Amino acid sequence: MSLPPEKASELKQLIHQQLSKMDVHGRIREILAETIREELAPDQQHLSTEDLIKALRRRGIIDDVMKELNFVTDSVDQELPSSPKQTVGFDKQSTLKKTNIDPARRYLYLQVLGGKAFLEHLQEPEPLPGQICSTFTLCLHYRNQRFRSKPVPCACEPDFHDGFLLEVHRESLGDGTRMADSTTMLSISDPIHMVLIKTDIFGETTLVASYFLEWRSVLGSENGVTSLTVELMGVGTESKVSVGILNIKLEMYPPLSQTLSQEVVNTQLALERQKTAEKERLFLVYAKQWWREYLQIRPSHNSRLVKIFAQDENGINRPVCSYVKPLRAGRLLDTPRQAARFVNVLGYERAPVIGGGGKQEQWCTLLAFLCRNKGDCEDHANLLCSLLLGYGLEAFVCVGTKAKGAPHAWVMTCGTDGTIMFWESLTGHRYIHKPTNPDEPPLAEQPKPLYPYRTVGCVFNHQTFLGNCQPSDAVETCVFDLNDESKWKPMSEEAIKSVCAPGATTSLPPFPPLCASTIDASATSNEIEMQLRLLVSEHRKDLGLTTVWEDQLSYLLSPALASYEFERTTSISAGNEEFQDAIRRAVPDGHTFKGFPIHFVYRNARRAFATCLRSPFCEEIICCRGDQVRLAVRVRVFTYPESACAVWIMFACECAS
């Protein structure tokens, strides 16, 4: 590993300082004189370097030096934010003095020093060394910086020991280069959002808790150091139930020259809560008035899906407009269609419900959705709408129903030429909307809708909320002229801004940046492919069949998989002619070729294989019998931000006709 010249000179300087501190040079001179006296024969004029090193080793000088030089490696599994400022993570042995931090900036060092009372895991046995077990991972977000702890085995007292260095700065005042003092930091109301994720032995993730840590109590504590006990509550239907306790230590660095009195800190927090509560109360009064006016237009509006508030994972009602905000993906996603593909490969899972009785509502905050890597249709729609707004499109989330009256959310963009485009966030499909005219004669040709949506009750984004007040809420007859108040009843933009604009209230969860993928696409593709080969060979062996793999044929399947993913992202098909030509050349005369491509958004080979066997076409290929049967399998993993991925698998066989 080569170091840049300035780093090399800095390292030499540090080593020199350490050696001077231990007076190593003086001790070496003493040993050298002693060695010359004792060991150098009168006829010898030269003492070799090897002799000297032996003497130093014998007297323990080298061991002393090595003990003094502590090599610290920061082994926290951390994600890099898309912003230029890098996050720094520490393990439990390291201290603040052992990292290269800017002494002109103010930092908050947050340590998680274990957990307790995770009673759901009271009976959990101690995992054996090397045994795969369920794990907890703590994800943090603070002012555009993201962190992830090392996974720890699930237990009643999970062994969390991680440190995170959070940079505190005022971007909005343009003085990011100036050291923030106690008073300045007291006005920074951003909380630290902590999300606890459980990963089971199959790699499935569950959202355990989502907590907003108010860190400013440290500003009123002695020496700028404080310890907290944080009680984590469950999510969804269990949001009133405690899931466990975390012990947290907060420390300001550099230490505060003057701390505030605890009374000043408490007064500031109370004022902020009071201000937020008043804004939310006024918005609720306005929303009730708006709803009364909406029902006066037509009493049947009562049955329309007009969603003004939605519950988050903590069971808190928030205006729907606060779930959307223009989000830039940095260099992680290049086009709106690529963004749609990324949202589509994040897993789909409805919020869990205990017992029957329909769908449990839960709109997740963005950090909880991204850390869990899966969510409901509303989570997908909110994220896609935010990304499209970031690309400069006029995008809205639509709330309505699809077939059989099931509630659904999707995204709509309005072009400057009046084109209305629907984006299905769960599949990545796009549909152009052309309204049908119900007053046309029965024989008149009408556009046939290809989209699965039946009704639409309202549309919204971060600044706008519009209730559908057309005679029918059927999507196919809806006219999406959003400026026509006879068709769409708007909410006051000022009212929305008062509770949904960034920084408007302290209860708004800040939006985190997206993180680059940590998955090695080539290594993961190879690993899944080898596992599938093993599974196919075992399956055929159970059927009394031998398996011969054709490596060249496997390689020739790669272009097809790349082409399928390109088509999913761009809606353009390319490269199919070359693939077909290569296969025709590779398969001998008198032989038949069969291929079966399939797509997954998870990386579990055994689960994928079980799904493939349920397809009669795939089973026919895997269980192929005949003369000169040769099998091929190719896996290609395409990575996206947040370690989401699209996994394409193709099974193929050739055999004598």
pLDDT at 341 over 50: yes
Q: What is the pLDDT of residue 574?
A: 80
pLDDT tens for 96-148 read 555 667 777 889 999 999 999 898 887 777 777 777 889 999 999 999 999 99
- Over residues 497-514, mean pLDDT: 87
Burial 492-507 (b: 16+ CB within 10 A, else e): eeebbebbbbeebbbb
Q: Measuring CA to CA, how many Å separate 527 from each of 26, 201, 604, 635, 640?
A: 56, 18, 10, 9, 18
Residue 100: what pLDDT?
63
Token pair belonging to 494: 């000022």
Q: Are 595 and 488 spatial neighbours (Cβ–Cβ below 8 Å)?
A: no
Concatenated DSSP letters of 109-177: EEEEEEEE--GGGTTPPPPPTT----EEEEEEEETTEEEEPPPEE--SS---EEEEEEEE--TTTT-TT
- Give the residue, 101 or 203, on which the prediction is more confident: 203
Which of 433-447, 543-557, 602-616 has the least mean pLDDT?
433-447
Cα separation of 134 and 204, whole Å?
Answer: 10
| 321 C-beta neighbours (distance < 10 Å), count | 23
- 8 A C-beta contact, residue 90 and residue 99: yes
- Three-state SS string over 178-236 comes to CCCCHHHHHCCCCCEEEEEEEECCCCCEEEEEEEEECCHHHHHCHHHEEEEEEEEECCH
Burial of 384 (0-12, 13-18, 19+ CB in 10 A): buried
Selection from 32-36, 79-83, 119-123 with the highest mean pLDDT: 119-123
- Long-range CB contacts for residues 89-95, cutoff 8 Å, separation at least 24: 89/147, 89/162, 89/163, 89/164, 89/165, 90/162, 90/163, 90/164, 90/165, 91/150, 91/161, 91/162, 91/163, 92/161, 92/162, 92/163, 94/163
User: Distances in Å between the alpha carbon of 38 and those of 34, 42, 51, 369, 428?
Assistant: 6, 11, 12, 73, 83
Q: What is the pairing mode between strands 453-460 and 395-402?
A: antiparallel
pLDDT of residue 129: 75
Percent of the residues in the chain that have a pLDDT greater than 70, as a whole number:
83
Per-residue confidence (pLDDT) for residue 520, from 0 to 100: 94
Given a cut of 90, is residue 265 above it in pLDDT? Answer: yes
Neighbours of 222 (CB within 10 A): 9
Predicted local distance difference test score (pLDDT) of residue 356:
57
Is residue 591 within 8 A of residue 657, CB to CB? The reply is yes
Residue-level pLDDT at 425: 95
The residue type found at 539 is: H
Domains of the chain, earliest start first: 7-36 (no CATH), 107-171+179-260 (2.60.40.150), 272-438+448-500 (3.10.620), 521-656 (3.40.33.10)
Q: Quote the pLDDT of residue 548.
A: 92
**Long-range CB pairs of 368-371, under 8 A, 24+ apart, other chains included:** 368/195, 368/207, 368/210, 368/235, 368/313, 370/512, 370/514, 370/515, 370/642, 371/137, 371/139, 371/195, 371/197, 371/205, 371/207
pLDDT tens readout for residues 397-434: 999 999 888 899 999 999 999 999 999 999 999 999 98
What are the tens digits of pLDDT across the range 312-332?
Answer: 999 999 999 999 999 999 999
| Cα(306)–Cα(287) distance, integer angstroms | 12
SS3 592: strand
Q: Token pair 């499209």 is at which residue?
A: 388
DSSP strands (E only) in 601-641: 630-639
Q: Is 349 helix (H, G, I), strand (E, B) or coil?
A: coil
Cα–Cα distance, 340 to 323 (Å, whole number): 17
- How much is the pLDDT for 77? 40
pTM of the model: 0.82
Cβ-count burial of 436 within 10 angstroms (0-12 exposed, 13-18 middle, 19+ buried)? middle
Q: Residues 165-191: pLDDT tens digits?
A: 999 864 545 555 567 788 888 988 899
Question: Is pLDDT above 90 for 257?
Answer: no
CA distance 530 to 551: 12
Asked if the model's pLDDT at residue 551 lies above 60, the reply is yes
Mean residue pLDDT of the chain comes to: 85
pLDDT value of position 126: 74
